[in-house]
Structure 1
Amino acid sequence: MIPLSDSIRAHRTPWVTYVLLALNIGIYALTAVFGLVDYDQVIQTYGLIPFRVMRSFDAEAVTDLISSLFLHGSLLHLGGNMLYLWIFGDNVEDALGHMGYLIFYLIGGLLASAAHVLVNPTSMLPTIGASGAIAAVLGAYLVLYPASQVRTLIPLGFFVRIALLPAALVLGLWFVLQLFEGFLAVGANADVGGVAIWAHVGGFVIGALLARFIVPSRSRKRG
């Protein structure tokens, strides 16, 4: 299932979401697409390498936890992450406010990255991508807008169908799939294919918990 849009209109311009989209797209364009730098070296330097973080948890390690959120491995990787950020980020920003949302995004991404490190502390494979932070956004969205609807593209063999589905179903299935893949990966390699599944799981849970504690229940939208 591929989300296309949601039923909740934001009441304020989501400037932080726009800036995050621009930063992620701009960094990928300037580094990977136009080749202004050695992108493999950028990933090795600014990507998240769990072993390096566990060996020496210092300012550089914290920098890696954050910088890795703004690097992507391919156009598909970037596009998928930005699609979810575009659809769900504006509403979470609407609920938390611009500065609150920015702090939430960075803390969610940092803690999601930390979850990946804790599950796979000896990995030397660089992990990159905004998906941990965006997973936190998804978790928060589910708590804040549990009754919203998501316009979703559903592939059915050679055909596709567009349906309006409950956000709880779309995001719930996404989380269950991540959890299932995470448990499968534990038995082999926690970052199989360079995908930090437990950053997704951790980010989603962290985002949901933060939203539940930060936003009063009376302020949460039911539809």
Structure 2
Amino acid sequence: MFIPLHDTNPLKRIDYQYVTVAIIVLNVAIYVIFQTGWIIPLDNENAAAFAVVPAELFAPSPESRPFFATGALPVPERFTLISYMFLHGSWIHLLGNMLFLWVFGDNVEDAMGHIRFIMFYLMCGIFAAVLHSWMLPQSDLPLIGASGAVAGIIAAYLILHPKVKVWVLALWRIPLKITASWALGIWILAQFGNLLIDSEENVAWWAHIGGLAAGAVLILFMRRRGVPLFDKTRGGA
């Protein structure tokens, strides 16, 4: 598996990736303030109230949700389709998602503009959670993390800039400069492979695939007019 470090793909239409940076700052701030226990500790029970739980998402009535009986925060299930994207299970989980977002999010934001990029990010995350819940309707494991939304960005970037060179770490230690089609293509294939191999529900492979599908479709309609698909340029210096 590759860990992305940097792409040689300068911005063309926006001055700075303000939304990408804001999403990263918000994710890190929420983790530090609420999930580390350093400032305002959020116990596991209340953290789960902001997560998507497939068995509860399509519950017929509020009374059927366990957190009403246990005293946890009464968070509406529909709201969790957004709130779950901003919670993470560990520093590794958080840093992995934010690294992918930092490397690839700026150029997707550049292709759409700031407002459309916000909508794109949230829509990818929402569809990722819905597909995960639809495929695992009986699961009571909470779904958290930005992986679904980030998967949408990965799909969009691959469709926009498959030839751009990307610096990655292979096997956590070997720096390589390869095209985005190789780096992201292998990541995408790994998601489908893991779905077939890993029958456990600890990793939300269906959420990743849902985000990929949403990103691949939405980029076709949400990119700015004149932004080409499958750009053949290899990026800047």
- State TM-score, norm by structure 1: 0.90
3-state SS of paired residue (1:48): coil
Aligned in 2, Cα 1:86/1:122: closer, same or farther, shift over 3 Å? Answer: same
Cα shift at 1:215: 3.0
Q: Give 1:155 shift.
A: 2.5
Question: In the TM superposition, what is the alpha-carbon distance from 1:218 to its structure 2 partner?
Answer: 4.8
Match of 2:196 among 183, 196, 203: 183
Contact 2:128 2:149 in 1 (8 A): yes
Tell me how far 1:162 sits from its aligned partner. 1.2
- 20-29 or 47-56, which deviates more: 47-56
Deviations 1:109-149 (A, max 9, x none): 00011110011011011110000000001001011112111
Aligned to 1:197: 205
> What is the alpha-carbon distance in structure 2 between the residues aligned to residue 215 and residue 139 of structure 1?
13
Deviation (angstroms), 1:222: 2.6
Alignment of 1:151 onto 2:162: no
User: In the aligned structure 1, how far is the partner of 2:80 from the partner of 2:188?
Assistant: 25
Q: Percent identity?
A: 36
Question: 1:164 is matched with which residue?
Answer: 177
The residue that corresponds to 1:219 in the other structure is 227
Aligned length, in residue pairs: 215
**Residue 48 in structure 1 maps to residue 64 in structure 2:** no
Q: Could you tell me how far 1:35 is from its partner in structure 2?
A: 4.9
CA contact (8 A) 1:43 1:128 kept: no
Q: CA deviation at 1:56?
A: 3.8
Letter in 1 for 2:16: T
Q: Which residue of 1 aligns with 2:42?
A: 38
How far is the alpha carbon of 1:201 from its aligned partner?
1.0
- Structure with the larger helix share: 1
* RMSD over equivalenced CA pairs, Å: 1.9
The alignment partner of 1:129 has SS state of: coil
Does structure 1 residue 3 correspond to structure 2 residue 8?
no
Preserved contact between residue 115 and residue 198 of structure 1 (Cα < 8 Å)? yes
Mark the runs of 5 or more structure 1 residues left unpaired by the alignment: none
Contact residue 111 and residue 224 of structure 2 kept, 8 A: no
- Could you say which residue in structure 1 is the equivalent of 2:214? 206
- 2:214, 2:188 → 1: CA distance? 12
Displacement of 1:217: 8.5
CA distance 1:166–1:217, shift in 2 (3 Å): farther
Conserved 8 A contact 2:112-2:224 = no
For residue 127 of structure 1, give the secondary structure of its aligned residue in structure 2: coil
Aligned to 2:116: 100
Alpha-carbon separation, structure 1, partners of 2:61 and 2:215: 24
Q: CA deviation at 1:209?
A: 1.4
Give, as a single letter, the amino acid of the residue that structure 1 aligns with 2:188.
F
Of the structure 1 ranges 198-207 and 128-137, higher mean CA displacement relative to structure 2 is found in 198-207
* Contact 2:127-2:211 at 8 Å conserved across structures: yes
The alpha-carbon deviation at position 216 of structure 1 amounts to 6.8
In 1, Cα distance between the equivalents of 2:135 and 2:77? Answer: 16
Matches of 2:168 and 2:176, distance apart in 1: 5
- Report the 3-state secondary structure (helix = DSSP H, G, I; strand = E; otherwise coil) of the residue aligned with 1:5: strand
Distance 1:35 1:110 in 2: 29
Unmatched segments (≥5 aa) in structure 2: 63-74
Could you give the per-residue CA deviations for residues 195-215 of structure 1, whole angstroms, max 9, x where no partner exists? 211110111121011112333
